[in-house]
Structure 1
Amino acid sequence: MIKVLVVDDDFMVAKIHSGYVARVPGFEVVGIAHTGGDALRMVDELRPELVLLDIYLPDLDGLAVLRELRGSTARPSADPDVLVISAARDLDTVRGAVRGGALHYLIKPFSYEALRDQLEHFRALHQRLSALPGDSPAAQQDVDQLFGSRSRAASAPPKGLATETAEVVERILRQAGEAGGDLSAAECADASELSRVSARKYLEHFADTGRAEVRLRYGGTGRPERRYRWLP
């Protein structure tokens, strides 16, 4: 089992993300932290292999936690990989995460499928690294395989996604964006003559890959409506 620490200041969001992780075979949530200080302490105590790290925390921000994890010599045996999960979209934050060594950056809100894909990619990389002999230098082909598999996995489309249908949904989203609006899955389904479930799958794919953004519209009762807008 791959041990995961979930770090998020919002108790409900942390619970949801922990539930996502628990649904993916081979992963186990060993702790939940709501502050940067608690995150660093729990990394030392629990030794997770992966940290799901929010940026907006009440004490240290996520980038400071990431720098501490990567720069500290006090925890040589506690050096987890980090997957940033945040609503922060500004380029300085994204650059900071990349330069800090984050494996990936998921923008909230994201779907279970988006997180599951990243966890599965991490598991594949983890298994490849574990299979390499620890007492001999890595060959170039081993390194190429590791980095190549990671980049291919990160760009792989979801199963069952058709290029032609994706182009239709993209065109509809672009047209709505040019008119200054956004779309729900139901509205996209009507415009594209797809089922609501199929339309949402394509919309979520564009959101997960950073080509569209999602905002939540809250009504009087029930779950908030997810609205999608194509990013220029």
Structure 2
Amino acid sequence: MIKVLIVEDDPMVAEFNKHYLEQVGGFTLQGIAGSVDEGLKLLEKKEVDLILLDIFMPGLNGLELLSQIRKMGKGVDVIIVSAAADRSSIKKALQYGAVDYLIKPFEFDRFREALTTYRERAALMQDQEKLSQVDLDKQIFHKEALGRTGELPKGLTRETLKLVWENIREMGNQTFSTDEIAQRVGISRVSMRKYLSFLSQIEVLKTEVLYGAVGRPVYKHRFIPSKAKAINGYL
């Protein structure tokens, strides 16, 4: 089991991350820290393989924790889970060795993808003394993710993308949930998630999260007119 530490100052977000983690096999939660100082103390007491790390926290921020971990020589991997979307934060996180970067808000599918990819990578590195170029490209560098401009990710079709895009354009500035657009287009919620994830990756959609009193957060999507040209090469 991969041992995980969550470092997140917002108790509600920490609980959602814990809930998500419990739904992905192969991981066990070692603890939740509400600050960098608390996180460092838990790292001293418990064995940790992976940290789900927020950046914006009172006192020292997550990037400072990541920097300290590297200076201490600890072989702990880090996935950033933060609202910080600025170039400087992302660049520093990657320079300090973050293995993935999730920008809040994100849907469970993206969280699961990050954890599943990490789990598969950890298993690959543990089981094989030498890796082939194919293994490196697929498992480590993710060369097959989006492909060339105009090439859709596996599982998406140009015809359905056009239908999804037409319906999104018709709604204009109106926000919509995954269920709403899935019903409107006439495809399953699972399939629609893949199309919305792709549109978010090429930045023609903005996703917002609404936290309710109980249950999972509700994700609302909105079309970004200024980014519309980004999809032209895929239609």
Instruction: Give 1:198 deviation, angstroms.
Output: 4.5
* TM-score of the superposed pair, with normalisation by structure 1: 0.78
Partner of 2:57: 57
CA spacing shift, 1:61–1:172, aligned 2, 3 Å: farther
Aligned-residue Cα RMSD (Å) equals 3.2
CA spacing shift, 1:12–1:153, aligned 2, 3 Å: farther
> 1 CA distance for matches of 2:15 and 2:68?
25
Query: Which of residues 151, 164, 168 is equivalent to 2:163?
Result: 168
Query: Which of residues 203, 211, 228 is equivalent to 2:221?
Result: 228
CA spacing shift, 1:198–1:4, aligned 2, 3 Å: same
Partner of 1:34: 34
- Which aligned segments of 4 or more residues in structure 1 are displaced greater than 6 angstroms? 156-159, 218-224
Instruction: Give 1:57 deviation, angstroms.
Output: 0.9
Residues 1-232 of structure 1 correspond to what in structure 2 (within 5 A)?
A: 1-70=1-70, 72-73=71-72, 76=73, 78-133=74-129, 138=130, 141-142=131-132, 145-152=135-142, 155=145, 161-173=156-168, 175=169, 180=173, 182-185=175-178, 188-189=181-182, 192-194=185-187, 198-207=191-200, 209=201, 211=203, 212-216=205-209, 226-230=219-223, 232=227
- Structure 2: runs of 5 or more not aligned: 147-151, 228-235
CA spacing shift, 1:159–1:61, aligned 2, 3 Å: same
Instruction: Give 1:132 deviation, angstroms.
Output: 3.2
- Structure 1: runs of 5 or more not aligned: none
Q: Deviations over 1:118-163 (max 9, x none)?
A: 1111111111111234xxxx5xx54662354223388279885445
| The 10-residue stretch of structure 1 (164-173 or 112-121) with the greater mean CA deviation from structure 2 | 164-173
Instruction: Give 1:190 deviation, angstroms.
Output: 6.0
> 1 CA distance for matches of 2:167 and 2:24?
33
Instruction: Give 1:171 deviation, angstroms.
Output: 4.9
Q: Deviations over 1:94-129 (max 9, x none)?
A: 111111211111111222221111111111111111
Answer yes or no: is the 8 Å Cα contact 1:121–1:153 preserved in 2.
no
Q: Deviations over 1:2-23 (max 9, x none)?
A: 0000111111110110111111
Instruction: Give 1:51 deviation, angstroms.
Output: 0.4
> 2 CA distance for matches of 1:114 and 1:181?
24
Q: Sequence identity of aligned pairs in percent?
A: 33
